[in-house]
Amino acid sequence: DAGITQSPRYKITETGRQVTLMCHQTWSHSYMFWYRQDLGHGLRLIYYSAAADITDKGEVPDGYVVSRSKTENFPLTLESATRSQTSVYFCASSLSREPEQFFGPGTRLTVL
């Protein structure tokens, strides 16, 4: 039972480059979420998805794009990375009608 996985686990990129962070879950959960974790801010929601082809903005969506063509995948793309997007990114999922979320191991992204 793989659960929820994220790739890559670590990524270093340069300002202006496009970066895609992958998230895959094997539970067929309806809801999926992307968070960023920064010192002093805790976890902040970037985007979420209620089902395939349904996505919506969270608290800090600027500079990010998401898609969800399949239930199990929820990639997060930084179209033109900036230094302020250096962070640890967590993907999470939850069953429909259940608020408990299950988190992936995170991706540590550094933008130089």
Query: In the β-sheet with 19-25, what is the strand arrangement from edge to edge?
Result: 4-7, 19-25, 76-78, 64-66
Taking CB under 8 A as the criterion, the residue among 1, 2, 40, 62 binding another protein is 40
Tokens of 112: 């130089």
Is there binding between residue 52 and another protein (CB under 8 A)? Answer: no
Is there binding between residue 45 and another protein (CB under 8 A)? Answer: yes
Is there binding between residue 56 and another protein (CB under 8 A)? Answer: yes
Distances 24 to 27, 68, 80, 103 between C-alpha atoms, Å: 9, 11, 23, 11
Among the listed ranges 18-26, 60-68, 79-87, 100-108, the one in contact with another protein (CB under 8 A) is 100-108
Is there binding between residue 25 and another protein (CB under 8 A)? Answer: no
Is the Cβ–Cβ distance between 89 and 69 less than 8 Å? no
Q: Write out the residues near another protein by the rule CB under 8 A.
A: 31, 33, 40-43, 45, 48, 50, 56, 58, 90, 92, 94, 96-106
